[in-house]
């Protein structure tokens, strides 16, 4: 007897989808991705619109009116009257000089000191994480709290004067730092550098850790000294980092407000008044919304010009 072997029919091979079907599937996937992208972007777009674009447009519009914070009458168009008043205001020029002086001192000192700290804590030594935490601790503390503490420290019988007397064996009696026009701004500068240097130290440190170690090994084999390794390896490797730090420190320095408001309120004799402080005081305390908008507009142009000049000077010339 012959045994019959059942042979299974060949598997059915599905024909490839038509080009039109593949196109529809691809378009549906693209539309789904676009909807998901719009969903994720929508909250940020709403926040930017409400808290950035709308205030900026209002600032541009109100700067050319006589609007007040509380007024029974609506704003009226006055042209360039606010800017004419602003550029003839001695307080504005005093505030502008104070702002420029603060920025000119803080930007190089804070960035340089932050780089030194970053180089020190970049070494792989025991306990380095402790020093990183100590240096960064003032950054996570509220600037208002720091300003209040330093206000007490700068008093005539405060900690700063006690330390100076102890270090000089009573040869230096100290000063009333915040009530003296010649020492108020330097005192705020010192406190501001101490408070924010840790933030830029971390940025410098991140930049240092992106430099390949092979470059240092090659420089050491060539007999390069420590200074030459820094000059020809470290500093060129920090090009993008130093541009970012320079711009961020400058913008933060030009926007000085919280320390002034808490520690001196612009005094004594307007020796610590800044452009931002004058704008806030004019807009809220004096209720001159239009004049404050004009100050803010001039400040915006000033910051934009400084940022563009810095970006041009630090551009990649290659």
DSSP at 178: G
Query: Residue 51 falls within a domain, yes or no?
Result: no
Which domain covers residue 207, as residue numbers? 88-313
CATH number for the domain including 283? 1.10.3720.10
Q: What is the pLDDT of residue 134?
A: 85
19 found inside a domain:
no
- Check if the beta carbon of residue 160 is closer than 8 Å to that of residue 177: yes
Q: How many domains does the chain have?
A: 1
Q: What are phi and psi of 14, to 5 degrees?
A: -70, 135
pTM for this prediction: 0.82
pLDDT at 91 (0 to 100)? 92
d(CA 183, CA 164): 15
Whether 32 is covered by a domain: the verdict is no
Q: In this structure, how many other beta carbons lie within 10 angstroms of the beta carbon of residue 149?
A: 13
Q: Based on the number of CB atoms within 10 Å of its own CB, is 42 exposed (0-12), middle (13-18) or buried (19 or more)? A: exposed
Q: Is residue 56 one of the residues assigned to a domain?
A: no
Residue 215 token pair: 């470059």
- 48 assigned to some structural domain: no
Positions in the chain short of pLDDT 50: 1
Tell me the C-alpha to C-alpha distance, in Å, between residue 185 and each of 51, 95, 117, 158.
31, 12, 25, 18
Q: Identify whether the C-beta of residue 135 lies closer than 8 Å to the C-beta of residue 117.
A: yes
Does residue 110 lie in a domain region? yes
At 113 the pLDDT is: 93
Does the residue 52 lie in any domain?
Answer: no
Whether 193 and 109 have beta carbons less than 8 Å apart is answered as: yes
> Does residue 6 fall inside a structural domain?
no
| Residues 249/200, Cβ–Cβ less than 8 Å | yes
The answer to whether 145 and 228 are in contact (CB under 8 A) is no
- What pLDDT sits at residue 1? 45
């Amino acid at each position: 007897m012959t045994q019959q072997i059942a042979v299974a029919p060949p598997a059915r091979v599905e024909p490839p989808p038509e080009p039109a079907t593949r196109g529809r599937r691809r378009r549906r996937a693209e539309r789904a991705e676009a909807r998901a992208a719009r969903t994720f972007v929508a909250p940020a777009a709403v926040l930017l619109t409400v808290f950035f674009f709308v205030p900026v447009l209002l600032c541009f519009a109100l700067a050319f009116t006589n609007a007040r914070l509380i007024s029974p009458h609506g704003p009226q168009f006055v042209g360039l009257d606010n800017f004419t008043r602003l550029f003839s205001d001695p307080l504005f020029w005093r505030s502008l000089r104070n702002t420029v002086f603060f920025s000119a001192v803080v930007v190089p000192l804070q960035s340089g000191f932050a780089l030194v700290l970053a180089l020190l804590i970049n070494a792989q030594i025991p306990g380095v994480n402790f020093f990183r935490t100590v240096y960064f601790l003032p950054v996570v503390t509220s600037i208002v709290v720091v300003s209040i503490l330093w206000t007490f420290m700068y008093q005539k019988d405060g900690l700063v004067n006690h330390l100076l007397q102890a270090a000089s064996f009573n040869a230096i009696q100290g000063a009333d730092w915040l009530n003296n026009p010649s020492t108020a701004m330097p005192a705020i500068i010192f406190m501001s550098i101490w408070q924010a240097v840790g933030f830029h130290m971390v940025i410098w440190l991140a930049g240092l850790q992106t430099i390949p170690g092979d470059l240092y090994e090659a420089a050491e084999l060539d007999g390069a000294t420590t200074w030459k390794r820094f000059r020809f390896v470290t500093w060129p490797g920090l090009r993008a980092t130093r541009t970012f730090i320079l711009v961020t420190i400058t913008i933060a320095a030009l926007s000085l407000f919280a320390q002034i408001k808490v520690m001196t309120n612009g005094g004594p004799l307007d020796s610590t008044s800044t452009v931002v402080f004058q704008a806030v005081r004019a807009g809220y305390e004096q209720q001159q919304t239009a004049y404050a908008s004009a100050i803010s507009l001039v400040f915006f142009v000033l910051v934009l010009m400084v940022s563009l000049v810095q970006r041009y000077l630090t551009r990649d010339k290659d």
